[in-house]
Structure 1
Amino acid sequence: MSEQNPNLAALSAAGVSVWLDDLSRERIQSGNLQELIDTHSVVGVTTNPTIFQHALSHGDSYATEVAELAGRGASVDELIRTITTDDVRSACDVLAPVYEATGGVDGRVSIEVDPSLAFEEDKTVTQAIELWKIVDRPNLLIKIPATKPGLPAITRVIAEGISVNVTLIFSVARYREVMSAYLAGLQAARNTGHDLSRIHSVASFFVSRVDTEIDKRLDELGGDERLALRGKAGVANAVLAYAAYQEVFVDGGDFPELTAAGANVQRPLWASTGTKNPDYSDTLYVTDLAAPNTVNTMPEKTMQAFADHGEVRGDVVSGHAAEAAQLFASLEEAGIEIGDVFEVLETEGVDKFMKSWQELLDATADTMRSAKQR
Structure 2
Amino acid sequence: MGGHLVANANLKALSDIGVSIWLDDLSRNRIRSGGFDDLIAEYHLVGATSNPTIFAGAVSKEPEYDEQVAELAKAGVSTDQAVRTITTDDVRDAADIFRPVHESTGGVDGRVSLEVDPRLAHDTDKTVAEAIDLWKAVDRPNLMVKIPATLAGLPAITKVIGEGISVNVTLIFSVERYRQVMDAYLAGLELAEANGHDLSSIESVASFFVSRVDTEIDKRLDAMREGHPLRGKAAIANARLAYAAYQEVFSTERWNALQAQGARAQRPLWASTGVKDKSYSDTRYVDELAAPNTVNTMPESTLQATADHADVRGDLVTGTAAESQQVFDDLAAAGIDLDDVFKALETEGVEKFEKSWTELLDTVGQRLVREGG
Q: Per the shorter chain, which TM-score range?
A: over 0.9
- AA matched with 1:296: N
- AA matched with 1:88: V
Find 1:26's aligned residue among 29, 46, 64: 29
Q: Which runs of 5+ in 1 are unaligned?
A: none
- AA matched with 2:56: Q
Report deviation, 1:317: 0.2
Partner of 1:292: 292
- AA matched with 1:22: D
Find 1:205's aligned residue among 197, 208, 211: 208
| Identity score, percent | 64
Question: What secondary structure is seen at the aligned counterpart in 2 of 1:43?
Answer: strand
TM-score, normalised relative to structure 1: 0.98
Question: How many Å separate the matches in 2 of 1:315 and 1:252?
Answer: 23
Report deviation, 1:125: 0.2
Question: How many Å separate the matches in 1 of 2:289 and 2:167?
Answer: 22
Report deviation, 1:252: 2.6
Partner of 1:188: 191
Partner of 2:236: 235
Report deviation, 1:311: 1.6
- AA matched with 1:248: V
Question: What secondary structure is seen at the aligned counterpart in 2 of 1:18?
Answer: strand
Q: How many residues align?
A: 370
Question: How many Å separate the matches in 2 of 1:187 and 1:347?
Answer: 30
- AA matched with 2:69: V
Find 1:78's aligned residue among 67, 71, 81: 81
Question: How many Å separate the matches in 1 of 2:113 and 2:226?
Answer: 43
Partner of 2:150: 147
Moved more, 26-35 or 364-373: 364-373
Q: Does 1:169 align with 2:140?
A: no
Map 1:1-374; keep pairs closer than 5 Å: 5-222=8-225, 227-249=228-250, 251-373=251-373
Report deviation, 1:343: 0.2
- AA matched with 1:157: V
Question: What secondary structure is seen at the aligned counterpart in 1 of 2:249?
Answer: helix
Question: How many Å separate the matches in 1 of 2:152 and 2:363?
Answer: 29
**CA displacement 1:5-33 (0-9 Å, x = unmatched):** 21111111110000000000000000001
Question: How many Å separate the matches in 1 of 2:272 and 2:42?
Answer: 23
**CA displacement 1:166-194 (0-9 Å, x = unmatched):** 00000000000000000000001101110
- AA matched with 1:153: A
TM-score, normalised relative to structure 2: 0.98
Report deviation, 1:98: 0.3
RMSD over aligned CA atoms reads 1.1
Question: What secondary structure is seen at the aligned counterpart in 1 of 2:206?
Answer: strand
Report deviation, 1:223: 5.7
- AA matched with 1:319: G
Question: How many Å separate the matches in 1 of 2:311 and 2:40?
Answer: 20
Report deviation, 1:312: 1.1
**CA displacement 1:289-344 (0-9 Å, x = unmatched):** 00000000000000000000012111000000000000000001111000000000
